[in-house]
Chain A
């Protein structure tokens, strides 16, 4: 394992200290329990938008804390959900009296810990609504699984709901909007190489030089199947087709296309893939109206990418375009 770290046990806290210094104008970081909070929190009478999850997916979620997006993020240990006291602390620090929307990715550990944290906050008198993002089409959703995973779509949910909360939309409205975005966002990813969790010291799975894992989750956990590596012209439809088949998206739809890097894939390859995806969507009569390209939901140093498609309408376009000022996303301010 080659990493720029000292002790695997202190990786997250050490990273948070640097993040606090790098973005002191935006963020206030507390360490016990660990919470990344918007510097001007709590904002009176604004619905608090709070999320979190395992660390190792940076900039998700701490990188999205700030004006127009999240009020707080709870960073767990690497690839491990945060604990209920972190969630409770985040809600306590951001409660402006208008309640809170808790955005949770559908992983069993996250759901259980956030559920417990929300219960604790409710005892404190905070009105908490929890929404669970489950956009990953690679996973079959049935009574026999824990349901679809929450992956790249989470960023879009956080942006849209954050924008609505910033303009004063109430708790019911924010919750309904979150459910609407979750209902029309879909993702799928692939991995070309594994990543190494610092405290594990060795790669989390093995892939041959000529193999890739199709339908991978944001920890490299498998989804659909392992297949031979292929040129980008074949890779991109292997991600896009299952997404398009799922909602289903239809000719004439307007969409946001999010081409995400898993951490170890250069922007050059992401732009290349993005270009192919736009062409394929145009061929199907689907209009890409908004784009996001870059490593926003990563898996440490894993090579790979995911595509996320969100069906747009005028309301969502306006909220996507609304000003945002965070460490990782900034426009309009």
Chain B
């Protein structure tokens, strides 16, 4: 089954609901090793995305993703605004003006998003950032393309992202504000990795 602009918009609404539900959890995780604004910032951004979609859903999946990108960039702030914004922007560029996305297109969009996040934030796996969740998600999504549908690809991505997020717990942070903590960041789940896994789980749930 293909994924239309309307379905992508629905998926983003699902993401916004999940972010709102987990706002306090993300604030708490970020307060432990950062500055405590991650949940608030993402919630503000995705709420703004939903209100724009309520006004009008753009014609193609790519246009919906681009709308999300520019809205996140102009409302989120912090490091998450440019990082998630760039990710969505690259995903939008990757899917072009296709009217529907198949499993391969979705996996390709995830890969483009990862490349955008890495280009902007310059983090690598092991730095204790969202890249630790997104990288294995992209690998799992690509592997699930053969013989799978969009839901299968996103399920695989979400599951890998959850494991990737958990893998940040024992790490010393090397990027962002948590890097100032040194060893004291050990034992804490990275809030960016957690929000990435929540986001992918919401997308997967919406595709099913």
B180 contacts A221, C-beta separation under 8 Å: yes
Q: Which residues of A contact B179 (CB under 8 A)?
A: 144-146
A33 contacts B74, C-beta separation under 8 Å: yes
Instruction: Among A76, A83, A140, A217, find the residue whose CB has the most chain B CB atoms closer than 10 A.
Output: A83
Q: Which residues of B contact A130 (CB under 8 A)?
A: none
Q: B175 interface residue, CB < 8 Å from A? A: yes
How many Å lie between the Cα of A83 and that of B83 in the bound state?
Answer: 12
A83 contacts B76, C-beta separation under 8 Å: yes
Min Cβ gap A277→B in Å is: 24
B174 contacts A80, C-beta separation under 8 Å: no
Q: A223 interface residue, CB < 8 Å from B? A: yes
A112 contacts B35, C-beta separation under 8 Å: no
Q: Which of A163-171, A196-204, A228-236, A321-329 contacts B (4 or more CB under 8 A)?
A: A196-204
How many Å lie between the Cα of A310 and that of B58 in the bound state?
Answer: 53
Q: Which of B36-44, B90-98, B152-160 contacts A (4 or more CB under 8 A)?
A: B36-44
Q: Mark A115-156, 1 if CB is under 8 A from B, else 0.
A: 110000000000000000000000110001110010000000
A107 contacts B81, C-beta separation under 8 Å: no
B176 contacts A77, C-beta separation under 8 Å: no
How many Å lie between the Cα of A113 and that of B86 in the bound state?
Answer: 11
Secondary structure class of chain B's binding surface, majority of residues? helix
What total count of A-B pairs have CB within 8 Å?
A: 96
A200 contacts B27, C-beta separation under 8 Å: yes
How many Å lie between the Cα of A36 and that of B175 in the bound state?
Answer: 30
Q: B108 interface residue, CB < 8 Å from A? A: no
Q: Which residues of B contact A85 (CB under 8 A)?
A: 73-74
* Interface members, chain A 151-199 (any B CB < 8 Å): 197, 199
Q: Which residues of A contact B27 (CB under 8 A)?
A: 200
Q: A249 interface residue, CB < 8 Å from B? A: no
Min Cβ gap A170→B in Å is: 30
* Interface members, chain A 66-89 (any B CB < 8 Å): 76-85
Q: Which residues of A contact B35 (CB under 8 A)?
A: 79, 204, 219, 221
Q: Which residues of B contact A222 (CB under 8 A)?
A: 180-181, 184
* Residue from the list A76, A80, A112, A223 in contact with B83, Cβ < 8 A: A112
Q: B31 interface residue, CB < 8 Å from A? A: yes
* Residue from the list A77, A115, A144, A197 in contact with B77, Cβ < 8 A: A77
A108 contacts B36, C-beta separation under 8 Å: no
Q: B82 interface residue, CB < 8 Å from A? A: yes
Enumerate chain B interface residues (CB-CB to A < 8 A). 27, 31, 34-37, 40-41, 44, 73-83, 120-121, 172, 174-177, 179-182, 184
Given A108-B121, A112-B82, A146-B176, 15 more A-B residue pairs with CB atoms under 8 Å apart are: A77-B37, A77-B40, A77-B41, A85-B74, A108-B175, A112-B79, A115-B82, A116-B73, A145-B179, A145-B180, A146-B179, A200-B37, A217-B180, A222-B180, A223-B180
